[in-house]
């Protein structure tokens, strides 16, 4: 029976290796999702105001799934080495539950990445930026978040509007209701500012003379980090799930062979 002994040893070795990889990927997934949830670019208020921040929900699930994968991989290694049917049965059942959660997280992240179109942010910016009459506390909170985020975005990234300053001219907006068109064809933050925070040349900014206003749109500054976030959660989770699938099948086969 030396040959089947070797076979068993090889299978055990492969399963231990598979579980080690799952454990490391679990830690990586947790770290990545914590990074996304911490919102380093300050874009969360924009997502919150769309009332559909499922990408953040997917990242939160990712944190716990990653940690669960790490813990279960340790359980799996112990179960394989001790050839214990009970431990491996517990491992398989808990892994299946974790698998289901991670599937949900991946599909959510992938679906909601498509949801983040330029028109979505344009409409939100026009309807909420510097809106003066808010209906309730929730509306006020979201409006303040959007206004602060846009002010910061336009200053830091030297951009204006979603596609450009012409967004403010093509559409009426909550901003236009309180700021007249002659003095504010676009918000002040679209102007090139000096070190003290005032426009370098206000008349040049109002006319749109190159060099005195920000001519590019902010969409790239918004969609870049959000796409990275969504891709990171969706595709890394997908890779982990493919690997976990193979390890789980191997573990089930091993479990069925234990006397």
Partner 1 sequence: MGASPFPLRCRLTASSVVVISRALTPQVCWPRVPAAALLPYVPRVPPAALPGKLTATTFALERPCCVFDGHANASDTVWLVVAFANASAAFRNPPSRANVPLYERLPTALSYMTLETAAAAYACSAPSPAFLRVGDDTVCGGQGSRDPCNGPLPSPGPYRVKFLVMGCHGPKAETRWSDPILLHTASSPSTIDPAPVRCGSDVVVIASILASLGAVLAAAVLGAAGAAAWGSLCRRGSGTSAFARSSYRTHHIPPALPQPLPPGCTCSPPGLGCFAPRPPGPCPAE
- Helix axis angle, 85-115 relative to 219-257, nearest 10°? 160
Which lies closer to partner 1 via its Cβ, residue 6 or residue 170?
170
- Helix axis angle, 85-115 relative to 54-82, nearest 10°? 160
Which lies closer to partner 1 via its Cβ, residue 196 or residue 256?
256
To the nearest whole angstrom, how small is the minimum distance from the Cβ of residue 217 to partner 1? 12
Which lies closer to partner 1 via its Cβ, residue 63 or residue 112?
112
Q: Would you give the DSSP letter of residue 196?
A: T
To the nearest whole angstrom, how small is the minimum distance from the Cβ of residue 258 to partner 1? 12
To the nearest whole angstrom, how small is the minimum distance from the Cβ of residue 180 to partner 1? 6
Which lies closer to partner 1 via its Cβ, residue 181 or residue 220?
181
Using H for helix, E for strand and C for coil, what is the string for 61-111?
HHHHHHHHHHHHHHHHHHHHHHCCHHHHHHHHHHHHHHHHHHHHHHHHHHH
To the nearest whole angstrom, how small is the minimum distance from the Cβ of residue 13 to partner 1? 22
Which lies closer to partner 1 via its Cβ, residue 6 or residue 200?
200
Q: Sign of the C-alpha dihedral, residues 208, 213, 215, 219?
A: negative
Residues contributing to the site for partner 1 (CB under 8 A): 92, 96, 99-100, 103, 106-107, 110-111, 113-115, 117, 119-120, 122-123, 126-127, 164-166, 169-173, 176, 180-183, 185, 203, 206-209, 213, 215, 234-235, 238, 241-242, 245, 248-249, 252, 255-256
To the nearest whole angstrom, how small is the minimum distance from the Cβ of residue 208 to partner 1? 4
Q: In this structure, what token pair is assigned to residue 158?
A: 């030297």
Torsion of CA 143, 176, 191, 217, to 10 degrees: 70
């Amino acid at each position: 029976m030396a040959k089947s002994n070797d076979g068993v040893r090889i299978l055990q070795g492969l399963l231990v290796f598979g579980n080690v990889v799952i454990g490391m990927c679990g830690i990586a997934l947790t770290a990545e999702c914590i990074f996304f949830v911490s919102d380093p670019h300050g874009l969360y208020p924009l997502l919150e105001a769309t009332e559909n921040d499922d990408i953040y929900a997917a990242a939160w699930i990712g944190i716990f799934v990653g940690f669960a994968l790490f813990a279960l991989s340790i359980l799996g290694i112990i179960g394989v080495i001790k050839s214990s049917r009970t431990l491996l049965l517990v491992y398989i059942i808990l892994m299946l539950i974790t698998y289901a959660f991670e599937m949900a997280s991946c599909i959510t992240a992938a679906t909601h990445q498509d949801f983040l179109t330029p028109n979505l942010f344009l409409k939100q910016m026009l309807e909420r930026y510097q809106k003066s009459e808010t209906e309730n506390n929730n509306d006020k909170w979201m409006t303040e978040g959007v206004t602060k985020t846009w002010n910061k975005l336009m200053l830091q990234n030297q951009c204006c509007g979603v596609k450009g300053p012409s967004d403010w001219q093509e559409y009426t907006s909550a901003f236009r209701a309180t700021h007249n068109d002659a003095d504010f064809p676009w918000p002040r933050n679209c102007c090139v500012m000096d070190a003290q925070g005032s426009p370098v040349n206000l008349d040049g900014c109002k006319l749109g003379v190159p060099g005195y206003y920000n001519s590019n749109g902010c969409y790239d500054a918004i969609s870049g980090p959000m796409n990275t976030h969504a891709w990171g959660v969706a595709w890394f989770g997908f890779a982990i799930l493919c690997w976990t699938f193979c390890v789980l099948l191997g573990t089930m086969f091993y479990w069925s062979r234990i006397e």
